[in-house]
Amino acid sequence: MPVDINKLKQIVYEAAGIIRQARISPEQIRTKTSQKDYVTKYDVEVQNFLESHLAEAWPDRHFLGEEQETHEFTHNGFIVDPIDGTANFVFGVPHYCISVAVLENGEITQGVVYNPAADEMYWAELGQGSYMNGKRLANPNLALEQTLVGVGSSLYDPNSIEPTVKLIAEIMKKSDIRRLGSAALDLSYVASGRQGAYFEFNIKPWDIAAGMLIAREAGVIVTTTEGKEPPLDRPLSILAAGPEIYAEFRRMLNF
C-alpha cells in the first residue's frame, strides 16, 4: 500500500505528543557512543510509538530506527530518527525534531521532519516539491556572502574535528556559521533559505534521510562532501547548498 503523506504527517504529529509532555530528568538520560551522544527514554518511546503506528498503517514495510539495538539497512521501508537533536532536547534548547523518511527501491520518496517546539512541519514527496506548514519551500540560491552556513560537528568522530574546523575557517572569511544541533532541521533550513548551506563530515542515514529529500525538492544540491550520491546504508558525509554556494564548496573542498 502506498504511503499517504497526510497520514504519515498525522502519525508524526501524534508521536510528538510524547515530546510535548516530556519532563526530562537526569535518570532518563543515557549516553551511547561517547559522552556527547545522548539518548533519553523519550527517544525510545517516540520510536516505539512510530514503529507500532507505522506497522499498523503500512504492515509490509521495514522499520529502521536510530535507537534500535541493531540496524538492518534495506532498500524499502521507513528510516526514522525519533528525536534528531537529542542534546538540544536534553538541555532544553527548543530545536529538535522527529524525522521519518520513506525509502522505495533505495530512493527516498517521502520525508517528514517535525519540530514540536516551533510547531513546524516540513515534508516533501519526490517530484512534488517541499513544504513547511503548507508553504512551498524554495532555496533562494544566494552567494556565500549573503547567507549563513549550518555546521554539524560529527560528534562521534574525532577524525572529523580538524577538517570541520578548517572548513569553518574558510567559510568565515566570507560568511558566518551556525551549529544548530539537528541535521534534519539543518537540511530543512537550507530548503527554506534560513541557512544557505549545511555540511557535516560524519553522520548517520537516519539523521539526513528525510531532510535530504526536503532540501532537494526545494532546489538544493545534496551530496557527500566529495560530491557523491549520499549512501543510505552506512555513516556518510553530507553537503547541502543552493547551486551558487555549492560551487564555492567544490572549490573549498577540492572536488
Residue 242 DSSP one-character state: -
Helix axis angle for 243-253 and 161-171, nearest 10°, is: 120
CB of 18 to ligand IPD, least distance (A): 15
Of 11-19, 52-60, 79-87, 237-245, the segment contacting ligand IPD by CB under 6 A is 79-87
In this structure, what C-alpha cell is assigned to residue 78? 521507513
> How is 142-176 classified by DSSP, letter by letter?
--GGGSEEEE---TT-GGGHHHHHHHHHHHTTTSE
In this structure, what C-alpha cell is assigned to residue 41? 527514554
Cell numbers 527548543 label which residue? Answer: 94
Query: Is residue 113 close enough to count as binding ligand IPD by CB under 6 A?
Result: no
The residue (of 58 and 63) whose beta carbon lies closer to ligand IPD is 63
Please identify which residue in 85, 116, 193, 205 interacts with ligand IPD, judged by CB under 6 A: 85
Of 147-155, 168-176, 211-219, 221-229, the segment contacting ligand IPD by CB under 6 A is 147-155
Question: Which of 41, 124, 123, 56 has the alpha carbon at shortest distance from 86?
Answer: 41
CA dist., res. 108 & res. 76, Å (int): 9
Is the C-alpha dihedral spanning 238, 206, 42, 14 positive or negative? positive
Of 52-60, 152-160, 169-177, 232-240, the segment contacting ligand IPD by CB under 6 A is 152-160
Query: Is residue 207 close enough to count as binding ligand IPD by CB under 6 A?
Result: yes
Residue 148 φ then ψ, to 5° = -115, 155
Query: CB within 8 A of 180, min separation 6: which ones?
Result: 85, 95, 150, 186, 189
Could you tell me which residues are beta bridge partners of residue 78?
63, 102
- Mask: binding to ligand IPD, 55-74, rule CB under 6 A, as x and -? -----------x--------
**Helix, strand, coil proportions of the chain in percent (round to 5)?**
35, 25, 35
Please identify which residue in 154, 175, 195, 223 interacts with ligand IPD, judged by CB under 6 A: 154
The residue (of 44 and 155) whose beta carbon lies closer to ligand IPD is 155
Please identify which residue in 200, 210, 230, 248 interacts with ligand IPD, judged by CB under 6 A: 200
Query: Is residue 222 close enough to count as binding ligand IPD by CB under 6 A?
Result: no
Please identify which residue in 108, 203, 214, 222 interacts with ligand IPD, judged by CB under 6 A: 203
CB of 229 to ligand IPD, least distance (A): 20
Please identify which residue in 55, 153, 174, 194 interacts with ligand IPD, judged by CB under 6 A: 153
- Mask: binding to ligand IPD, 180-199, rule CB under 6 A, as x and -? -xxx----------------
- Interface positions with ligand IPD (CB under 6 A): 66, 81, 84-86, 152-155, 181-183, 200, 203, 207
